[in-house]
């Protein structure tokens, strides 16, 4: 396990390191907080604080937020890292994206049509 680093050198973080379902996933300065420790599981899920990185409501529309959710095995919780470094949602076919192409701390993460733009490129823990 380790950090998922991305746009502007920031890391994907569970906001406030809160483990409640529905907690937003955001960019923040990379540190050692528990909300930045992710495990790439064998089933394709990305796990933090015992929960999964989940597309809200299993939706597929551009701009749908990602959040923390109980791991259920749903396709809205499965991700594939492609050759470009994009994280593609299995259920949506869309990419994990930093909203508004902003790298400010607190920028929320969402799904968006894959374009291999800098705000869609991520490095997973080894």
pLDDT in tens, 64-108: 999 999 999 999 999 999 999 999 999 999 999 999 999 999 999
Q: Tell which residue, 71, 9, 64, 70, has the closest CA to residue 36.
A: 9
Distance CA 35, CA 13 (A): 5
**Residue 6, number of CB atoms within 10 A of its CB:** 24
**pLDDT value for 126:** 77
Distance CA 32, CA 35 (A): 8
**pLDDT value for 33:** 84
Residue in this structure with the two tokens 């109980």, named with its chain if needed: 70
CA angle 21, 32, 56 (to 5 degrees): 20
pLDDT in tens, 16-59: 999 999 999 999 999 978 999 999 999 999 999 999 999 999 99
Within 23-120, where are the H helices? none
Structural domains for the chain: 7-120 (2.80.10.50)
SS3 40: strand
Distance CA 48, CA 6 (A): 16
């Amino acid at each position: 396990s380790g950090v998922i680093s991305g746009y502007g050198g920031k890391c994907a973080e569970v906001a406030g390191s809160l483990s409640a379902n529905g907690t937003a996933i955001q960019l923040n300065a990379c540190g050692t907080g528990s909300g930045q420790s992710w495990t790439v599981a064998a089933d394709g899920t990305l796990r933090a604080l015992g929960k999964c990185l989940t597309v809200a409501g299993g939706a597929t529309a551009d701009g749908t937020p990602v959040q923390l959710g109980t791991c259920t095995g749903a396709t809205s919780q499965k991700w594939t890292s492609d050759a470009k470094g994009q994280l593609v949602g299995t259920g949506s076919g869309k990419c994990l994206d930093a909203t508004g192409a902003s790298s400010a701390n607190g920028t929320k993460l969402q799904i968006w049509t894959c374009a291999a733009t800098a705000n869609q490129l991520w490095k997973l823990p080894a």
